[in-house]
Amino acid sequence: MIETRDLTKKYGELYALDRLSLRLEPGDVYGFIGPNGAGKTTTMRILATLLNPSWGEASVCGYSIYNSSKEIRRCIGYMPDFFGVYDDMKVIEYLEFFAAAYRIRGAERRKKCDQVLELVDLGYKRDALVTSLSRGMTQRLGLARVLLHEPQVLLLDEPASGLDPRARIEMRELLKELRKMKKTIMVSSHILPELADICNKIGIIERGKLLFNGDVESAIRQVRYKTVYFVAVQDNRNEEAARRLNQFPELESVDIVDEGKQIKVTIRDGVPDAGFVADRLIEQKFRLKTFREEEPNLEDVFMRITKGITN
């Protein structure tokens, strides 16, 4: 659905994008991660045919960005990180205005507007003035607008930017609904744990260069150097349990953490199964309260892969 090959955007001596190559298949939800100034918005604007690259190739739904801009705009929905709304319109008037721009006419126009309002859970605000909406509601209205013409591909640039926790949760659930509808979605965000929850692929970009491109599990495996478990036992016996665990050669290190509330156990390379840790503690009459493996998340991946450099 989306493919780029050596896509480059240069401003003087500055590379906003440096030979970006990626591919999204139908139904992919692609999390585009990077610091401010990394090239995320530049990429989306090029794919939306709003900005010409310096060189390289890109296609959306099989159409080239160079000679098929009209066709691409019919099959995408692009939601920028900041967009204006017409404050003197009601919500339904705002959507009908854009539906008319998409050449949706008559009864079909009202039907489409009502459908997208229900999808983004704004049906109860259909007759409210746009200026009365909260930031989260305005974001959902913007998403409703780009869904009017039933695009196959969605380009969502920081859709959760500036939202409060409840609004972020609502936006995440909405993106899950769009995923169920088999939309192909490229979404950029700084809220990394939420991307892990909705994306099947991620790309990490820094200073215009794509540093990682693949599935979330592969990214986590790439930064996972050691197998680590967190253990806690009943009756405030963590220090005693840690002394016992220090006797086992299969363990590389045993440390008391979290102000004595947990034991951090690092397994030596080559040890296939860490279940013996729990077994031996139980054999020595300790009662387990916690036994969990440390799971790296997207924040760990991002911090280890990137260097904090921006354009």
Q: Is 7 helix (H, G, I), strand (E, B) or coil?
A: strand
- Mean pLDDT, rounded, of the chain: 89
Domain-by-domain residue ranges, the chain? 2-220, 225-295
User: Whole-angstrom Cα distance, residue 180 to residue 190?
Assistant: 23
- Span 272-279, mean pLDDT? 87
Tokens for 107, please give them.
């009864």
CATH entry, 225-295, from 3.90.950.10, 3.40.630.10, 3.30.70.100, 3.30.1360.120: 3.30.70.100
pLDDT tens digits, one per residue of 118-134: 999 999 999 999 999 98
Q: What was the pLDDT predicted at 26?
A: 93
When pLDDT is cut at 50, 70 and 90, the band that residue 223 belongs to is low
pLDDT tens digits, one per residue of 155-168: 999 888 777 888 88
Interacting residues of 282 by C-beta distance below 8 A, sequence separation 6+: 288
Q: What was the pLDDT predicted at 306?
A: 77
CB of 112 closer than 8 Å to CB of 125:
no
Q: What was the pLDDT predicted at 225?
A: 67
User: Whole-angstrom Cα distance, residue 181 to residue 44?
Assistant: 21
Q: What was the pLDDT predicted at 98?
A: 93
Q: Is 253 helix (H, G, I), strand (E, B) or coil?
A: strand
Please check the confidence at residue 226 and state whether its pLDDT lies above 60: yes
Interacting residues of 147 by C-beta distance below 8 A, sequence separation 6+: 77, 116, 119, 120, 154
How far does CA 194 lie from the centroid of its chain? 6
**97: number of Cβ within 10 Å:** 13
| Percent of the chain whose predicted confidence (pLDDT) is above 70 | 96
- Span 83-87, mean pLDDT? 78
Burial level of 140, CB count in 10 A (0-12/13-18/19+)?
buried
Please check the confidence at residue 309 and state whether its pLDDT lies above 60: no
- Looking at the DSSP bridge assignments, the partners of residue 3 are 23, 59
Q: What was the pLDDT predicted at 256?
A: 94
Q: What was the pLDDT predicted at 20?
A: 96
**298: number of Cβ within 10 Å:** 24
pLDDT tens digits, one per residue of 37-54: 889 999 999 999 999 999
Q: Measuring CA to CA, how many Å separate 10 from each of 17, 127, 147?
A: 7, 45, 32
Q: Is 147 helix (H, G, I), strand (E, B) or coil?
A: helix
Lowest mean pLDDT among 180-189, 216-225, 276-285: 216-225
Tokens for 101, please give them.
């721009």
pLDDT tens digits, one per residue of 240-263: 999 999 999 999 999 999 999 999
Lowest mean pLDDT among 70-79, 104-113, 221-230: 221-230
Q: What was the pLDDT predicted at 47?
A: 97
Q: What is the CATH number of domain 2-220?
A: 3.40.50.300
